[in-house]
Amino acid sequence: MSTFDNTALVRKYMELVAASDIDSALDLAADDATFWHPMSGTVGKEALREQFKQLGTLMRSFSSQVITTTAEADRVSVEVEAQAEFSNGRHYQNQYHFMFVVRDGKIQASREYVDSAPVKAAFF
């Protein structure tokens, strides 16, 4: 696939996550895809699906917006701004960087980088 196709795939994934359509988003990932987050480590698709479910029960609302994408070879870098309101009334706003690896038309891996201070304030 071209870098254009890889970027389109990753943007679609991010749109589906923002719309809380996690099942459709994860359909864009390979069965053996891995997802790394600094606070939870590396997980597979099913564990990530479960994490999204648990997170969804804590939120009243969620929105995110892709700010920039950069692609080279099989990698797509994405900067995202996200906001959420939690059931406990806390407001969350943060910026993220994701690095995706795309192979054979599927997301093979994702690494997520985030400022941990807003995460800690919202969750702990």
Residue 21 lies in domain: 3-123
Where is average pLDDT lowest: 45-59, 88-102, 110-124? 110-124
Give the CATH number, domain containing residue 85: 3.10.450.50
| Percent of the chain's residues with pLDDT above 90 | 76
For residue 76, pLDDT beyond 80: yes
- Summarize pLDDT for 13-72 with one digit per residue, the tens: 999 999 999 999 999 999 999 999 988 899 999 999 999 999 888 888 989 999 999 999
pLDDT score for 19 = 92
For residue 81, pLDDT beyond 80: yes
- Is residue 100 a contact partner of residue 110, using CB atoms and an 8 Å limit? yes
8: nearest Cα among 107, 122, 108: 107
pLDDT score for 72 = 97
Q: What is the chain's alpha carbon radius of gyration, rounded to the nearest angstrom?
A: 14
Measure the CA–CA gap between 66 and 82, rounded to whole angstroms.
Answer: 9
Overall number of domains in the chain: 1
* Strand order across the 59-72 sheet: 41-43, 29-37, 106-114, 91-103, 75-86, 59-72
Higher model confidence: residue 110 or residue 61?
110
pLDDT score for 119 = 81
